Amino acid sequence: MDLRHLRCLIAVAEELHFGRAAKRLNLSQPPVSLAIKELEEELGVTLFERTSRRISITRAGEQALRDARVVLVGMETLRRRAHDAASGLMGSLSIGFISLPAYSFLPGALRQFSEDNERVEIALWEGTTDQIIEDVEAGRIDLGLVLQPTSLPQTLESRLVQNDALILAMPEAHPLARPGSVALEEFAGERFLGFARHFGPQMFDSAVATCMRRGFSPRMFPARQMNTIVSLVSGGVGVALVPACVQAVERKGVIYREIQGEKTYIDTLAVWRRADDSALLRTMLALLPSLGKRDYATAEVVA
């Protein structure tokens, strides 16, 4: 039995005439008659009662007709879904991300991706840079949005998607909370909230270096998530150097100020497996900002 048999069955059952069924299928009548005969022999039943003047479908034929229609619809669905998956129109995409993209470009990119790819299932996982890179390399997630790591596995590709200046987050009631930019050295005696170095080496090193350029070594109080850092600032635990996009977190009791003097920038990268040629991955990457590639040998941005 093949799909040709089923198409002939449906055409004959609907036309109740071998000649019209053959014309509908763009065939001559003998192949259609032979297909029905072969199908009856294979099933061991009579599908049509034939006389010299008319043809009628049997009860077994009616059941076979219903089943044949289900099979053909299923085959068409299989064909369409396979084509859609190959074209990137359906399937699944998993994304791991740190908090920074969620404050800036990620919501818009996800909204556009979902509108353009309604049948694609997106899984989102928030985590730390080290976790996300490990999961991308292992194939547990497809795309990672991470802080710039000190190095990247050779199996992964990366692209710079965000470049944020550090600003100061401070309690609204802080004695130095005034309009305009601030001189960071005035906060030398403060506790600075920030990522522990092994969770975000770029953030930790950039915060320390920024303070050192202003003539002091900061007292660091480690935290693991940006939301936690902002919450602690709100509670008056200390101040924090945070990327400018964090201003989107309008936490009560926190204000943000630019820092006077030379700016320090924080890079956010998209990372994915070099061998991954998924159309869905490429579609998502096309919706993300593109600021260049990261050359780890020189630590310079290559446009």
Mean pLDDT by 10 residues, the chain (303 residues): 86 89 90 91 91 88 88 76 64 90 93 88 89 91 91 92 94 91 94 85 90 94 86 93 90 93 92 90 92 49 33
pLDDT of residue 85: 65
Q: Which CATH class is domain 3-87?
A: mainly alpha
pLDDT of residue 119: 81
pLDDT of residue 51: 84
- Residues 6+ away with beta carbon under 8 Å from 107: none
Any idea which architecture 90-161+267-302 has in CATH? 3-Layer(aba) Sandwich (3.40)
DSSP codes joined into one string, 262-300: S--EEEEEEEEETT---HHHHHHHHHS---BEEETTTTE
Other beta carbons less than 10 A from residue 36's beta carbon: 23
Summarised one tens digit per residue, pLDDT across range 77-99 is: 677 667 666 665 667 889 999 98
Q: Tell me if domain 90-161+267-302 and domain 165-266 are identical in fold.
A: yes
Q: How far apart are CA 231 and CA 228, in angstroms?
A: 5
Summarised one tens digit per residue, pLDDT across range 3-33 is: 889 989 999 998 888 989 899 889 999 999 9
Q: How far apart are CA 58 and CA 56, in angstroms?
A: 7
Q: Tell me which residue of 162, 163, 157 sits closest to 281, measured CA to CA.
A: 157
CB 161 within 8 A of CB 106: no
Output the CA–CA distances (angstroms, integers) from residue 122 to 48, 74, 113, 117, in the order listed.
50, 25, 9, 10
Any idea which architecture 165-266 has in CATH? 3-Layer(aba) Sandwich (3.40)
pLDDT of residue 267: 92
Q: Structure tokens of 17? A: 């005439």
pLDDT of residue 87: 62
pLDDT of residue 240: 95
- Residues 6+ away with beta carbon under 8 Å from 74: none
pLDDT of residue 302: 33
pLDDT of residue 296: 42
Q: Tell me which residue of 52, 51, 57 sits closest to 39, measured CA to CA.
A: 57
- Listed by start position, the domains of the chain span 3-87, 90-161+267-302, 165-266
Amino acid present at 17: H
